[in-house]
A and B are shown apart, each in its own frame.
Chain A
Amino acid sequence: MSDALQILILGITLGGVYALMASGLTLIFGVMRIVNLAHPIMIICGAYVAYWLFNLYRVDPILAMPVAAVFMFGVGLVLYQLVFAKEAASAKYSEMTVLLTFAVALVLDGFLGALFSNTQRVTTPPYATDAIVIGDLFIPTAQLYAGLISIALIGALVVFLQFTRMGYAIRATTQNRTAAALLGVNVGFISLVTFAIGVALAGAAGALVSFVFSFFPAKHWEWIAVLMSLVVLGGMGKLMGTIVGAFALSIVAAFVGTYAGATWSTITFFLALFLVLLIRPQGLFGDPIESA
């Protein structure tokens, strides 16, 4: 029993981190129909910000998180204006963005590789190797912190989207772009800001990831698949679906990892993706796919 509880807690904390990693991806897709294949490399950018701030100035990666988020927000603003703003009116925008974001991912991957080489890194704050022991339960402190902060950030994101004026504008633009424009929403500006918020979330997630997983530039290839499976499982662009999907899959992966061996735990994500595409292609929370 305590075994199951232990695995559940590990699954939930990891789920929080995955949910945060995927939330920016789903937000950007929801508002702009951009399939951001560069999202995972942006997470790695955030991880490097935290890594270097820690190794050069001894800044705790949790304190470095807002710095990484603000830095990546700026990167998002510039990137959107340079790469994505011009074609936003094109009918084939979604398809085009797959190629554009893939190119961005390749460029950032190469750039980071040249700058920092492809060696494994991990930020090592004092709590990185600690654990909290309660009776039989053993919870790694770093994972607990990362999970709780992720959950808090996602909570803040949901409150922002539900209750602020800009949150209304973002949700409205997601659901009906033309209608939002007709009601006075500057959808071009909202797209820009949402893209930057999504990239900032990647940066924040990166700072947390930097002390939970070891990372190197090319690691993002692995994460593209994992994060896309979460986003598709939840229903493309549906934040709630992505969050639920992230927790569900992480918990299942934690159980699989314990009882079947760690090598099998990653396969959980792809098996779930495979099954969802077969049985419910619109995802858990998606609208039914209209037949053409």
Chain B
Amino acid sequence: MPELLEVRDAVAGYGGGPAILDGAALTVREGQIECMIGPNGAGKSTLLKAIVGILPLRKGEIRFRGERIDGLQPHEILRKGICFVPQERALFPRMTVRENLRMGGYVLEDRGELERRIDDVLGRFPILRERASQLAGTLSGGQQQMLSMARTLIVRPTLVMLDEPSLGLAPMIVVQMFEIIGMLRAEGITVLLVEQNALMGLRHADWGVVLDLGRTLFEGPAAEILADPRIQDLYLGRRSRAA
């Protein structure tokens, strides 16, 4: 039985530049929240971009439910059931909140069903309901992040990948983001999360992956990674107790 998402020996870079991913590997299990950590420039965002087909792989393979998906276009990846929320949030600034949600269900053929799902999402996020006819570009950073995460609920994908959802947000809003991630999991959606705030990310995750210099250094249960003194020293910003 293949795992939900498997990345093997991924090599990728931008243009003709050096390889940012240099043999990265990743396994995502169905129903879990998986958190990817690592320093700046480790290749975390690049790996997510390679998975959704924004960036082509130079080597390696990506499988979703056992089926090769590397080489597919982003719009084809979405139809497979993978939804990606990039760091820059990918909203349409001159469309209203409701129109943004409608775009979230672009692949749904049934318009009635789409409107029902939009109402359902607006019901769960009262702030978005209040601002349904406001242009997305005029929302605050936290509201924009909420909208882009809420929008993934419209397509009901198998896997949602979030690239640093807490970036630039106030601590209280960050707590809300993790509540939404919990909401996604409760819907049966698997979550792959890249998080700069590694402690916070791992605490909310089942599984953790440590990436550095484009390679996967370590993966295992999130609790184990949190407890591992080497990883604490290097990536969790904690001083070693001996020092």
Residues in chain A within 8 A of chain B (CB atoms): 165, 168-169, 171-172, 175-176, 178-188
- Cα A210 to Cα B83 in complex, Å, equals 49
Question: Closest approach, in angstroms, between the C-beta of A240 and any C-beta of chain B?
Answer: 10
Say which residue of A172, A176, A180, A182 sits within 8 Å of B52 (CB atoms). A182
Known: A178-B54, A182-B78. A171 touches B95 (CB 8 A): yes
- Cα A172 to Cα B90 in complex, Å, equals 10
A175 touching B90, Cβ below 8 Å: no
- Cα A175 to Cα B89 in complex, Å, equals 13
Can you pick out 24 interface pairs between chain A and chain B where the beta carbons lie within 8 Å of each other? Answer: A168-B99, A168-B106, A169-B106, A172-B92, A172-B106, A175-B92, A175-B93, A178-B86, A179-B90, A180-B103, A181-B54, A181-B75, A182-B54, A182-B75, A183-B75, A183-B78, A183-B90, A184-B75, A184-B78, A185-B75, A185-B106, A186-B73, A187-B75, A188-B73
Interface residues of B in 68-100 (CB under 8 A from A): 73-75, 78-79, 83-84, 86, 90-95, 99
Known: A185-B106, A186-B73. A179 touches B78 (CB 8 A): no
Which size class do B's interface residues fall under? Answer: 20 to 34
B74 touching A181, Cβ below 8 Å: yes
Q: Interface residues of A: mostly helix, strand, loop or mixed?
A: helix
A181 touching B106, Cβ below 8 Å: no
Q: Does B104 contact A (CB under 8 A)?
A: yes
Residues on A with beta carbons closer than 8 Å to the beta carbon of B103 = 168, 172, 180, 183
Residues on A with beta carbons closer than 8 Å to the beta carbon of B73 = 181, 186, 188
Q: Does B102 contact A (CB under 8 A)?
A: yes
Q: Does B175 contact A (CB under 8 A)?
A: no
- Cα A186 to Cα B79 in complex, Å, equals 11
Residues on A with beta carbons closer than 8 Å to the beta carbon of B104 = 183
Residues on A with beta carbons closer than 8 Å to the beta carbon of B54 = 178, 181-182
Among A169, A183, A187, A188, find the residue whose CB has the most chain B CB atoms closer than 10 A. A183
Q: Does B107 contact A (CB under 8 A)?
A: yes
Q: Which 4 A-B pairs have the closest CB atoms?
A: A179-B90, A184-B107, A181-B74, A184-B78
Question: Closest approach, in angstroms, between the C-beta of A144 and any C-beta of chain B?
Answer: 34
Question: Closest approach, in angstroms, between the C-beta of A188 and any C-beta of chain B?
Answer: 8
Residues on A with beta carbons closer than 8 Å to the beta carbon of B75 = 181-187
**In the complex, what residue of chain A is closest to B94 when comparing beta carbons?**
A175
Question: Closest approach, in angstroms, between the C-beta of B125 and any C-beta of chain A?
Answer: 18
Residues on A with beta carbons closer than 8 Å to the beta carbon of B83 = 182
Residues on A with beta carbons closer than 8 Å to the beta carbon of B92 = 171-172, 175-176, 179-180
Question: Closest approach, in angstroms, between the C-beta of B115 and any C-beta of chain A?
Answer: 13
- Cα A165 to Cα B79 in complex, Å, equals 17
Residues on A with beta carbons closer than 8 Å to the beta carbon of B95 = 171-172, 175
Interface residues of B in 138-176 (CB under 8 A from A): 155
Among B73, B86, B94, find the residue whose CB has the most chain A CB atoms closer than 10 A. B94
Among B74, B83, B107, find the residue whose CB has the most chain A CB atoms closer than 10 A. B74
- Extra pairs beyond A168-B106, A188-B73 (6, CB < 8 Å): A168-B102, A171-B94, A172-B106, A180-B92, A182-B54, A185-B75
B84 touching A182, Cβ below 8 Å: yes
- Cα A181 to Cα B82 in complex, Å, equals 12
- Cα A183 to Cα B151 in complex, Å, equals 10
A182 touching B99, Cβ below 8 Å: no
Residues on A with beta carbons closer than 8 Å to the beta carbon of B99 = 168
Question: Closest approach, in angstroms, between the C-beta of B190 and any C-beta of chain A?
Answer: 17
Among A169, A172, A179, find the residue whose CB has the most chain B CB atoms closer than 10 A. A179
- Cα A42 to Cα B5 in complex, Å, equals 49
**In the complex, what residue of chain B is closest to A168 when comparing beta carbons?**
B103
- Cα A184 to Cα B79 in complex, Å, equals 7
- Cα A158 to Cα B181 in complex, Å, equals 38
Known: A168-B99, A178-B54, A178-B86. A183 touches B93 (CB 8 A): no
- Cα A180 to Cα B103 in complex, Å, equals 8
Question: Closest approach, in angstroms, between the C-beta of B2 and any C-beta of chain A?
Answer: 24
Residues on A with beta carbons closer than 8 Å to the beta carbon of B84 = 182
Residues on A with beta carbons closer than 8 Å to the beta carbon of B79 = 184
**In the complex, what residue of chain A is closest to B136 when comparing beta carbons?**
A175
**In the complex, what residue of chain B is closest to A285 when comparing beta carbons?**
B94
Known: A185-B75, A187-B75. A179 touches B107 (CB 8 A): no
- Cα A67 to Cα B151 in complex, Å, equals 42
Residues on B with beta carbons closer than 8 Å to the beta carbon of A184 = 75, 78-79, 106-107, 155
Residues on B with beta carbons closer than 8 Å to the beta carbon of A176 = 90-93
Question: Closest approach, in angstroms, between the C-beta of B89 and any C-beta of chain A?
Answer: 8
- Cα A171 to Cα B95 in complex, Å, equals 9
Residues on B with beta carbons closer than 8 Å to the beta carbon of A175 = 92-95
